[in-house]
Amino acid sequence: MVSLVENERALSPESDPMLPSRYQVRRVRRENADTFTMELAASDQSGSVLFAPGQFNMLYVFGVGEAPISICGKTRNGLEHTTRTVGTVTSSLGRLRRGDVVGVRGPYGSCWPLAEAAGRDVVLVAGGIGLAPLRSALQTIVAQRPLRHRVTLIYGVRTAEDMLYLQELERLRDRGLQLYVTVNRATGSWRGNVGVVTSLIPRVPFDPLNCVAMVCGPELMMRFSMEELIKRGVPEQRIFLSLERNMKCAVGFCGHCQFGPEFLCKDGPIFRCDRIRRWLNIAEL
Amino acid sequence: MRTVVGAHCDAGDFVVIEREGLEELSTVLRADGYKLVGPRVRDGAIVYDEITGAGDLPAGWTDEQDGGTYRLHKRNDDAFFGYAVGPHSWKKFLFPPVVRLLEATRRGSDFEVKRSNDTAPKLAFVGVRACELHAIATQDKVFMGGAFVDPIYAARRRNTFLVAVNCGHPAGTCFCVSMNTGPQATGGFDLALTEIIESLRHYFVVEIGSPAGARVMDQVEHSVVTEAEREAARGVVARAAGMMGRAMDTDGIKELLYRNYEHPRWDDVAGRCLTCANCTMVCPTCFCSTVEDVTDLQGEHAERWRKWDSCFTMNFSHVVGGSARHSAKSRYRQWMTHKLATWIDQFGTSGCVGCGRCITWCPVGIDITEEVRAIRESENAGATQREDMSHARS
Amino acid sequence: MQDLETIVVHHPFWQNLHQRYSHFLGECAGTQHFAPQQQIFQTGCEADHFYLIERGRVALETPFIPGKGVMIIQTLEAGEALGWSWLFPPFVWHFGARAIQPTDLVVLDARFLRQKASEDHEFGYELAMRVGNVMLQRLQATRLQLLDYGQPR
């Protein structure tokens, strides 16, 4: 027989990368009008609760389909996923209740550069639901923050009602997080910032030459945030973005998530800015 | 008498079988439990399908191919392999166009889920061209070369016996020489045949490529190859190499395309492209797929199917809000730059093996070699112009 | 206590301005404190001052819109410039501004600035470029805001 490509993993039935494990919904918490957080715990031994902040799982709803959802936290029993209902699968996820079962494959993808962040100021820039993939990184970074380093979150939302994790962010602020929230629309009763996150990047205090920036949100927002960070003096090698594309398999087979030479599922979703900056500037890539 | 039956063969050996030996080889493979698949004439084309033996091969047929054109003609000899590649490729056997991945059954608020048992039949591919061996190796990297292995592909691949054929009849759309993938099969096969038709003799020089190939040849009546026969075989391939209908200059092609994501030629080709996805369906390396989830009417039983997909469809790049590649231009550009440029970064090789299928089966005859040439020449013309201007100034 | 001239020229708006203009700027400047909710200027009124924010937060707002109330367009903070209608005829504020935190402003007399700019084109160029840059950044931010970052609904 012809010798096959090396690195063939053991092909026991359980190694099928497309086979989900069953996880039970332990809790559903509504975050805002169209966003909710689900706590999932493995129904059997096969499910993993190990993940690195920034990675995602493929969540399967019986008979409906799969969607890539970032893992936004860990509880004693399982994993948390914050989801916005935008499509068929996420809407079905939104109808699940405590005790229901979902299929889970993962965790997949690259993670936020926590090791690199140690010993530096950290600036997180989040837009809307983009805070979810940053949440567990934020928790870890604040918990491990040495006193001399600043941890800053610049968080932009459409309106004040769209904010995620409000109480939790306030608790993190008490533990040293520099929190800047800005909304796109506000009525006269709003006392906070109005405007886009990019307007705050030049204003907030951090050391651009000794910081790590992590950006997650709509692509347009990330592109402009990246340019503002660079303008402020942050080296491209220390700016990280989390991209989003269509995904069917999450393991590099289906081809859907290609972004130039990158597969978002296995090379990303988190990329160092210098690796993808040129591709971000190509329309309809 | 040179004929030796039952003499021991080794990988790396060259032996000779006569015309009738092909049927004997088929019989031995079938006796070994292999189902044979190979070229046969159907619906006016040479397709890959189940065959029972040499008798089903398109003996005496040839093809004529050009951009958007494919015709079968009778040959004036009985050659078994006197044509180039048709609309099918072997990928349909290794990476099935439609396959069930999972089955799930509801149990109250819970469900059971198991992978579908894909039967990986023992298949012997008969008549695999050098370009196609490269295509298989290319898909091996996609489905088995990374951190994850596709169990469906891997099981099928492991059960495959490859009988290659050194190509003696390239088509008008072929450019394997440019892509360094043919016409000589240089590896990745169990057996490689070179078909030689002389006025009084029709025979095959057989290169044994693997121990499995050697075990099969042990059971087929063969003779030791003579230098004249090997020379004749080399001649077949050398003539074929000179008959390429197309050529592509691949020098620095990745950089060329990376420099030209914004180029008027993409608009030009988009004006012709119907985004029909034919090129991706006939391409032997295209590997994109989608999944479909279905349930029975009661919603008690669910299945997940994988189907071939194409980057030419609007849905392919659907993100929240719409398609990331809306224009035909961006979709053609994705396909061609993937094939010839980004693939190199992803898998270390080109995604194009020069088989020419995308040219033949494009309903409007878009020619990937011509598209590359147009972009390259525009750069050269630009450079010449700039040079002229600098001369004029000095 | 810093003198007015020092405060004015140290505001980021005037960063790297030639010092020969320092005295002039000091001459035409004053400071003003605004309590939360206090109006700084109103839509339709004469734009006769240019403001530089020293401390606090200011909201640019629309007039009252029936059914919506007053909408905040953008907030500005210490280090930023407030208003440009004073530089262009007919010198009338298009939107209103209100302090939403205790706010200290440097207030420059717009007539003096316009007069100086028309007499001394070098100063005029400096002023126009700086105001232009503020406008550019606000326009870019407003575009992004208008698009909701391009986030699909």
b/e burial code for range A255-265 (CB count within 10 A of at least 16 → b): bbbbbbbbbbb
Residues 6+ apart with CB under 8 A from C105: C31, C32, C33, C34, C40, C51, C52, C53, C54, C82
Answer yes or no: is pLDDT of C153 > 80.
no
Cβ contact B82:B72 at 8 Å = no
Instruction: Quote the mean pLDDT of chain B.
Output: 94
**Which residues between 263 and 322 in chain B have a beta carbon less than 8 angstroms from any beta carbon of chain C?**
320-322
Backbone angles phi, psi at B291, to 5 degrees: -125, 150
Alpha helical stretches, state H, C28-146? 110-119, 121-146
Q: Which of B6-15, B128-137, B380-389 has the lowest mean pLDDT?
A: B380-389
Sheet holding C29-34, edge to edge: C29-34, C103-109, C49-55, C81-82
Q: Would you call A162 helix, strand, or coil by DSSP?
A: helix
Q: Which of A157-166, B3-12, B258-267 has the lowest mean pLDDT?
A: B3-12
> Average of pLDDT values for C82-111?
95
Answer yes or no: is pLDDT of C3 > 90.
no
Distance of CA B35 to the CA centre of its chain: 20
DSSP β-ladder status, A151-157 and A121-127: parallel
DSSP β-ladder status, C103-109 and C29-34: antiparallel
**Cα separation of B339 and B368, whole Å?**
10
Cβ contact A268:A274 at 8 Å = no
> Which residue from A146, A151, A139 is spatially nearest to A119, judged by alpha carbons?
A146
The chains found to touch B (3+ Cβ pairs under 8 angstroms) are A, C
> Is A185–C71 a contact, with Cβ atoms under 8 angstroms apart?
yes
> Average of pLDDT values for C7-13?
94
> Which residue from B155, B161, B132 is spatially nearest to B353, judged by alpha carbons?
B132
* Tokens 């369906």, located at residue: B281
Listed ranges A73-77, A249-253, B3-7; the one with the highest mean pLDDT:
A249-253
CB of A12 less than 8 A from some CB of B: no
> Average of pLDDT values for C37-53?
95
Cβ contact B159:B120 at 8 Å = yes
pLDDT tens sequence across B188-214: 999 999 999 999 999 999 999 999 999
Cβ contact B87:B361 at 8 Å = yes
CB of A2 less than 8 A from some CB of B: yes
Q: Which pLDDT does position B136 carry in this prediction?
A: 98
| A58 token code pair | 């493929």
Comparing CB atoms, the residue among B149, B211, B330 nearest residue A11 is B149
| B178 band by pLDDT with thresholds 50, 70 and 90 | very high
| A103 token code pair | 């299929």
Give the gyration radius of chain A's Cα atoms. Answer: 19
Q: Which pLDDT does position A141 carry in this prediction?
A: 93
| B23 band by pLDDT with thresholds 50, 70 and 90 | very high
Q: Which of A120-129, A144-153, B139-148, B159-168 has the lowest mean pLDDT?
A: A144-153
| A12 band by pLDDT with thresholds 50, 70 and 90 | very low
Count Cβ atoms below 10 Å from residue C78 Cβ, excluding itself.
Answer: 17
How buried is C112 (Cβ within 10 angstroms: 0-12 exposed, 13-18 middle, 19+ buried)? middle
HEC profile for A128-152?
HHHHHHHHHHHHHHHHCCCCCCCEE
Residues 6+ apart with CB under 8 A from B169: B62, B79, B81, B82, B83, B84, B240, B243
> Average of pLDDT values for C85-110?
95
Distance of CA A12 to the CA centre of its chain: 32
Q: Which pLDDT does position A7 carry in this prediction?
A: 36
* Tokens 């941890």, located at residue: A151
pLDDT tens sequence across B242-287: 999 999 999 999 999 999 999 999 999 999 999 999 999 999 999 9
CB of A246 less than 8 A from some CB of B: yes
Q: Which pLDDT does position B27 carry in this prediction?
A: 97
DSSP-derived secondary structure letter, C92:
B
Q: Which pLDDT does position B156 carry in this prediction?
A: 95
Helix H or strand E encompassing B29: helix B21-31
| B321 band by pLDDT with thresholds 50, 70 and 90 | confident
State the complex-level ipTM: 0.90
pLDDT tens sequence across A120-137: 999 999 999 999 999 999
Q: Which pLDDT does position A165 carry in this prediction?
A: 96
Q: Which pLDDT does position C63 carry in this prediction?
A: 87
How buried is C118 (Cβ within 10 angstroms: 0-12 exposed, 13-18 middle, 19+ buried)? exposed
**Which residues between 48 and 87 in chain A have a beta carbon less than 8 angstroms from any beta carbon of chain B?**
60, 62-66, 86-87
Q: Which pLDDT does position B388 carry in this prediction?
A: 65
Q: What share of chain A is helix, strand, coil (3-state, %, to 5)?
A: 25, 30, 40
| A60 band by pLDDT with thresholds 50, 70 and 90 | very high
**Cα separation of A5 and C114, whole Å?**
76
- The answer to whether the Cα torsion of C126, C128, C134, C136 is positive or negative is negative
Distance, in angstroms, between B303 CA and closest chain A CA?
Answer: 7
